[in-house]
Structure 1
């Protein structure tokens, strides 16, 4: 998504990630908003970029949501696969204790990294 937005302009990307550029002035040590009749040509360009950023976000909400939901589906699939590996974990025939332990730790750490904590079930 980053590259897609940047392809429309890095200034647009900067506004989307860092927030809008609001024309202000310093009065008695405090920042206050400029009045419309005080805007410079540069400030009008910043306001135009702010409007473009808002338009881009609103017109691409569906695309952004599909990306977000797709990311969640990928995460859920990884979690399901790792939980399956965890539940069916056995020592392989050609494995020693040390490599078995490392393999098991890899599964547990991958699950933790995805936000899934598994608790052992004793029989």
Structure 2
């Protein structure tokens, strides 16, 4: 009797995030979002909305702060993206990790995985629809 292959190594326990090795993306995405939200709301916000960029106003114009002038609050908020990026990278198998290794932010990682794996499903559906239509319109050629 063959044993069933586990979908996720850590099964989404509360201590470890779910691992993603390229299969069952929709399932992993839900588990990973819940995991990130459970760590801290601001961590999920960094994934969903992008990293905090410390800014200041000079002459009614918004400018990025130089790192030396960051407040403690700025430093704390910037850290959320770094934590999220670390958590996301630590969940990925080698192929998925190399797919996102160029990403600079947690949002880029999330968006890259989403586009890669959700578009694949959409493309498959589109091809299936096209093939179904061709099948329905198929007629035997005259001799």
Normalising by the residue count of structure 2, what TM-score does the alignment of the two structures yield? 0.46
Asked if 1:45 corresponds to 2:62, the answer is no
Q: Which residue of 2 aligns with 1:95?
A: none
SS of corresponding position for 2:93: helix
Unaligned 5+ segments in structure 1 are 80-113
Q: Give the 3 Å change call, closer, same or farther, for CA 44–13 of structure 1 in structure 2.
A: same
Runs of 4+ in 1 over 6 A off after TM superposition: none
RMSD: 2.9
Q: Which residue of 2 aligns with 1:58?
A: 89
The whole-number CA distance in structure 2 between the counterparts of 1:26 and 1:34 is: 9
Asked if 1:2 corresponds to 2:33, the answer is yes
Unaligned 5+ segments in structure 2 are 1-31, 97-112
Please say which structure displays the higher CA radius of gyration: 1
Given the alignment, which residue of 30, 34, 38 partners 2:61?
A: 30
Given the alignment, which residue of 24, 38, 47 partners 1:16?
A: 47
C-alpha offsets along residues 22-81 of structure 1, whole Å, 9 cap, x if unaligned? Answer: 101112232211122321121111011121122122222339x5x97xx77xx59xx7xx
The whole-number CA distance in structure 1 between the counterparts of 2:64 and 2:87 is: 24
Q: How many residues align?
A: 81
